[in-house]
Amino acid sequence: MDKTVLVVDDSVSMRQMVAFTLKEAGFEVIEAGDGKEAVAKLNDGAKPNLVIADLNMPNMDGITLIKEIRTMRAHKFTPILMLTTESAEAKKKEGQTAGATGWIVKPFNPDQLLQVINKVLPG
Amino acid sequence: MAIDLSRFQETFFEESSEHVETIETGLLQLEHRPEDLELLNQVFRAAHSIKGNSGMFGFTAVGELTHKMENVLDGLRNNEMEVTEQIIDLLLQALDGLKSLLEVARGSGTADEEAIKTIETKLLAYQNGTERERLEAGGPRAEVQDKGATPVAERPAVPARRLVTIMWVPLPELFQRGLDPGRIFQELASLGRIHTLTVNADRLPDLPAMDAEVCYLSWTVELETEKPLKEIDAVFDFVRDESELTIAEPSAPQPPASQEMGEDEHKRLGEILVEEGEITQAQLETSLSKQKRIGEILVEDHEVGPRKITKALEKQHRLDTVARAQRGETTSIRVGTDKIDKLINLVGELVITQSMMANLTQTFTMDQVPLLQERVLELERHSREMQERVMSIRMLPIRTAFRRFPRMVRDLAIKNGKQIQLVMSGEETQLDKTVIEAIIDPLTHLIRNSADHGIEPPEERVARGKPVQGTIKLDAFHEGGNIRITVEDDGQGLNWDKILAKAKQLGMVAEGEPLGKKEVWQLIFRPGFSTAEKVTDLSGRGVGMDVVKRNIESLGGTVGVQTREGQGTKFMIKLPLTLAIIEGMTVRIGREGYIVPLVSIIESVRPTKDMMKTIVGKGEVVSLRNMFVPVIRLYDLFAIEAEFTNPVQGVLVLVEAEGTKVALMVDELVGQQQVVIKSLEKNFQKVEGLAGATILGNGEVAFILDVPGLISLAKNGSSVLV
């Protein structure tokens, strides 16, 4: 069965790039433009095996989203990767405390992305 | 996996320009509302997004500049600095630099690297200023990394295959973070062979006290591997912070795993040689400088002559330019899916109606005429709706044209030492994309005039009892099938006497000629009027106003002015919503139909014999209310056979363009209707005096008259068909 990944980023180009990479690698992809949209999709019954979320988003940022996801029964243990920039060390910590599984530091290339996913997604 | 990211670049650029816009408007607003944290956050977020994404696409220069902007913005956000005019100024300058860098990244334009360097230094100075303050206040200090401290030669050699012992006591909330110990063991196994895996259950509480979601276990792994410790350590990247972790080699204690992670897989030969101490960096650079370009090598080898190379280089440059130009031409419009859905719906309706009619025609009897009429009516309704919907796709909010003005007004105000606020409304008013693009120049001109010349300097305003800050209002709204845009200022207004005096001096108005208010103000739009006044700036108005008017008229629009001395001036622009369809008057000449754009028509008259006169130097004219208007006999101009050759029998259509009135002689007026413009240039070639063609209801092709073109043709006295 194909694994499904929920990609949350307000930047369309980032989302396109991540989604494209994942689809090439055989994943199903659900996209959301911010935390709010992601929560709505999860509440609507989306069942991703992994969530990749940008931290810096309007309406609902990544940290809040991670906290929200962790309160959902179905997604208590779903791996969540956050997209950060190298300078956001404090944010990284904050994200981990909120319940993030890991992180990908921007800029990354498609191979690095897949490597990190491989790290957290149960085989 | 090799994935070409360039296909996402277009989106990146589109997105970045939106972010740039957000930053620009945000910064301008911040100047007035420095305490608005949400606004600051918005600006910060936009800068942050550009920074993060530019890295993804390898635009380092863009990333570096935005990074520095972001730091300053962060300082503002954390109250480490205050929002001052200087900071906003600097950030705006940085934004200009950013715009040029984005253009360069896009493959067009140039960036002033020197200027950008200077801006970056200034940004850094601000940032460091706060860093220093923070230090003085005893706050945390930014860590300084001395990268030169680790000599490259001391890099540990690749270890042989050995047994590495890993002890891992994970954090209890392991599972709540979506982490899976199993995954970690799998990854370890991929690095070598797991010799033993021991589970330590010491921390496991009694069953009643146990929380099923907490991880009480810890593990010891003996891994047989030849991989360096660094790689083993990397497996624990996401859990290291809160875990207890020891990774030990069997023999003597190893130096701690290097913190420098993520080296590039691909290294250049020179880099490796330097790292291995075979050569020094200086040696490498000297050798590299000896490298030659392919052209030079070919010339040296006498394969081709230097002139051929120069030619080829020129060609390369040309091709680049062409490619760039082509890239610029492919413009796209983002269309909401709801609009497309509605269109598809309509197409469905059309198909249904069409098949109903097809059905009807197959078994048609005369008693079904009412039914047929009903179907035709339906078809008409659907196609009209279809037309409107398709048109709406090309419609964009005028905001895209307005957004550049706040910045412009701010810059002009500073330059002129004035205080000006720009109030915009109706930014969401939609109109055709082409019209929006074409209206930018005239609007820029009008607003610039208002800011430069309309609004008085502060002292003068105070003396007149006006608020120190001048106001320019920019408004857009729909009215019928048109859009109206107004530019209004509360400045000094136009000076009646000066304009009239100037016009008389230029011979535009005869001494003692009675002129209405409107006519006097229209004088400023006359060609020649402005240029003659450039030096003295008549009440500050009239610089290139004729150009503004011409531009707007070429869009099928009109421009008017209202002014009160000492109180301000208001320019009113009226534009059609689209350029693809115009309101036209169908006229007949002989057996042919022509369309006269309705906007240019003033009135139509059937002259009496004594109204027609011939004036030396002006030719045939018609006398209308003390005005002599030149007559153009269209049948003459187009060399066709008309029904009437005597104006008294035909009709004179009075039209105006660029301030000149002429009377077009036709056989009769047929009626008014909307016509779709079909380009002649695209399908045939440009014909002087014709703006295009259209297909009439009866299937005939009719030409649309280009009034300004006709006027200049008539002036030159040549005919269309040579």
* ipTM surpasses cut 0.85: no
Closest CA to B594 of B503, B505, B690: B690
Asked whether the beta carbons of B529 and B507 are under 8 A apart, the reply is: no
Q: Which of A11, A79, A121 sits opposite B15 (nearest CB)?
A: A11
User: What is the pLDDT at residue B272?
Assistant: 72
Question: Looking at the predicted structure, is the pLDDT value of residue B325 above 50?
Answer: no
Q: Which domains does chain A have, with CATH numbers?
A: 4-117 (3.40.50.2300)
User: What is the pLDDT at residue B132?
Assistant: 58
User: What is the pLDDT at residue B349?
Assistant: 87
Q: Do B180 and A58 touch (CB under 8 A)?
A: no
The residue-averaged pLDDT of B239-262 equals: 62
Report the range of poorest mean pLDDT among A64-68, B214-218, B711-715.
B711-715
DSSP string for residues in B618-665: TEEEEEETTEEEEEEEHHHHTT---S--STTTSEEEEEEETTEEEEEE
- Interface membership of A101 toward B (CB under 8 Å): yes
B432/B394 Cα distance (integer angstroms)? 5
Tokens 């622009």 belong to which residue?
B573
Q: Do A85 and B52 touch (CB under 8 A)?
A: yes
User: What is the pLDDT at residue B710?
Assistant: 83
Q: Do B180 and A108 touch (CB under 8 A)?
A: no
Report the range of poorest mean pLDDT among A5-9, A60-64, A92-96, B589-593.
A92-96
User: What is the pLDDT at residue B198?
Assistant: 85
User: What is the pLDDT at residue A6?
Assistant: 95
Q: Which of B53, B179, B183 sits opposite A13 (nearest CB)?
A: B53
- Residue B571 C-beta-side C-alpha neighbours within 13 Å: 28
Name residue B477's beta-bridge partners: B484
Please write down the long-range contacts of B420-424, taking CB distance under 8 Å and 24 or more positions apart. B420/B451, B420/B455, B420/B469, B420/B470, B420/B471, B420/B472, B421/B469, B421/B470, B421/B471, B421/B472, B422/B447, B422/B471, B422/B472, B422/B473, B422/B474, B423/B471, B423/B472, B423/B473, B423/B474, B424/B473, B424/B474, B424/B475
The residue-averaged pLDDT of B65-77 equals: 88
- CB atoms < 10 A from the CB of A24, how many? 12
Q: Do B56 and A14 touch (CB under 8 A)?
A: yes
List the single best residue of B18, B238, B243, B263 to mutate versus A (max A Cβ within 10 A): B238
Question: Looking at the predicted structure, is the pLDDT value of residue B148 above 50?
Answer: no
Report the range of poorest mean pLDDT among A67-81, B76-90, B208-222, B301-315.
B301-315
User: What is the pLDDT at residue B666?
Assistant: 93
B624/B512 Cα distance (integer angstroms)? 19
A88/A62 Cα distance (integer angstroms)? 13
User: What is the pLDDT at residue B319?
Assistant: 62
Q: What are the tokens at B378?
A: 């339906």
Asked whether the beta carbons of B563 and B485 are under 8 A apart, the reply is: no
Which chain B residues are within 8 Å of A24, Cβ to Cβ?
1, 3
pLDDT band at residue B334 under the 50/70/90 scheme: low
User: What is the pLDDT at residue B613?
Assistant: 87
Question: Looking at the predicted structure, is the pLDDT value of residue B597 above 70?
Answer: yes
User: What is the pLDDT at residue B323?
Assistant: 53
DSSP percent split of chain A into helix, strand, coil, nearest 5: 45, 20, 35
Q: How many CB pairs under 8 A join A and B?
A: 103
B245/B232 Cα distance (integer angstroms)? 11
The residue-averaged pLDDT of A95-117 equals: 87
Sign (positive or negative) of CA dihedral B67, B69, B70, B72 = positive
Which chain B residues are within 8 Å of A17, Cβ to Cβ?
5, 8, 56
What is this structure's pTM?
A: 0.54
User: What is the pLDDT at residue B150?
Assistant: 41
The residue-averaged pLDDT of B224-241 equals: 83
pLDDT band at residue B458 under the 50/70/90 scheme: very high
Question: Looking at the predicted structure, is the pLDDT value of residue A5 above 90?
Answer: yes
Tens-place pLDDT, residues B125-135? 877 776 555 55
pLDDT band at residue B255 under the 50/70/90 scheme: very low
User: What is the pLDDT at residue B138?
Assistant: 45
Q: Do A77 and B11 touch (CB under 8 A)?
A: no
Mean confidence (pLDDT) of chain B: 79
Question: Looking at the predicted structure, is the pLDDT value of residue B331 above 80?
Answer: no
Asked whether the beta carbons of B174 and B219 are under 8 A apart, the reply is: no
Write the DSSP symbol of residue B35.
Answer: T
pLDDT band at residue B144 under the 50/70/90 scheme: very low
Q: Do A122 and B180 touch (CB under 8 A)?
A: yes
Question: Looking at the predicted structure, is the pLDDT value of residue B540 above 70?
Answer: no
Question: Looking at the predicted structure, is the pLDDT value of residue B253 above 50?
Answer: no
